[in-house]
A and B are shown apart, each in its own frame.
Chain A
Amino acid sequence: MKYLVTDDSKLARLSLIKSLKSQVGDAEIFQATNGFEAIEIMQKEKVDIVFLDLTMPEMNGYEALPKLLEINNKAKIVVVSADVQVQAKQRVIELGAQLHVQKPINVEKMQELLEII
């Protein structure tokens, strides 16, 4: 399995990767700091699960999400965001995300969401 963690914050990436590694061990994990970088990685790698932040510079998660699915429509997109408004959750699901999860993701939450998807 290949994973892609997309967030402009180093803290958010490190925190998510730590939780992810606790569940998937030495799986291949790529990192991107905005939508453009995520797209570049998706074009080169067959990523299975993408963790995607919404509020990012250059290209945000809303813009990146459909583009990532255009490249690989089998990839599962998990939106990991601080924006917990109902409309934000609805919008990302409409755009094709599998799940919307509130930041931060600890080990227990990661275990639960990997079981769900």
Chain B
Amino acid sequence: MYNLTEDEKDVLQELMNVAYGSTTAVVADMLDAFASLSIPNIEIMNVSQLLSNFHSLKNSSYFFATQTFNGEFNGESAFFIDETSVHNLATHLELESDDDLDDAILELTNILTSTLTTKLAHEMGTAVSYSLPCISKVPLEDIADVEAFQQYTQVIVIDTQLNFQDQKINGEIFILTKDDSIQWLKTKLNTILEELI
């Protein structure tokens, strides 16, 4: 079982903060809206714990989009957006059909997750490549059946909120990585800190 030290958490949180700041600006520009930034929460946990955390989310149904990223730092980004936010997004973008809305969520996910992981990888001196994002609407009681989670045992969860207050659009982004990537990440985080001390 891997654990992150306080220093490793701090470094990853700050790198994520920098990456997320740039990501938010891109999405805010796309939506012509202002987002408030929150401090990312970072934890290593078993997938069973992650799934039980998902169950604590308030809404009963979420749109759920994932995108795999590959490289030295590899894993999967997951973006959750609740139904109310999806409807608010549709109103904000003046979308009329469900197809348009699916397309907008996919595009939002693509921009969010690819910008975020690209920036995060860049801050760590590496690069990542991507698969196409896929989207599904998942009732929370079925979340454990989502294929993406079944390939992981232990994951590092970087959880941050997308929050456009005026438009009432809220989402949550998770970056999930596997054991080999966690080991690579720990080494990298310590190198970054050691270079400053």
Contacts and interface: CB of A to CB of B under 8 A. Distances in A.
Closest 7 CB pairs of A and B: A82-B21, A9-B14, A87-B34, A14-B196, A11-B14, A82-B18, A84-B25
Interface string A36-61: 00000000000000000011110000
Nearest to B10: A10
A6 interface: no
Contact of B197 (A14, A84, A85): A14
User: Among A11, A18, A88, A103, which residue has the most Cβ atoms of chain B within 10 A?
Assistant: A11
Contacts of B20: 82
Given A57-B39, A87-B34, A11 B28 contact: no
| Most chain B CB within a 10 A radius of its CB, from A14, A18, A57 | A14
> Which label, helix, strand, loop or mixed, suits the secondary structure of the A interface?
loop
Interface of B: 7, 10-11, 13-15, 17-22, 24-25, 28, 34-35, 37-39, 192-193, 196-197
Interface residues of A, number: 22
A12 interface: yes
Nearest to B27: A85
Contacts of A83: 21, 24-25, 37
A84 B14 contact: no
Nearest to A91: B34
B196 A85 contact: no
Given A9-B13, A9-B17, A11-B10, A82 B192 contact: no
B162 to A, nearest CB: 13
Contacts of A88: 34
A94 to B, nearest CB: 14
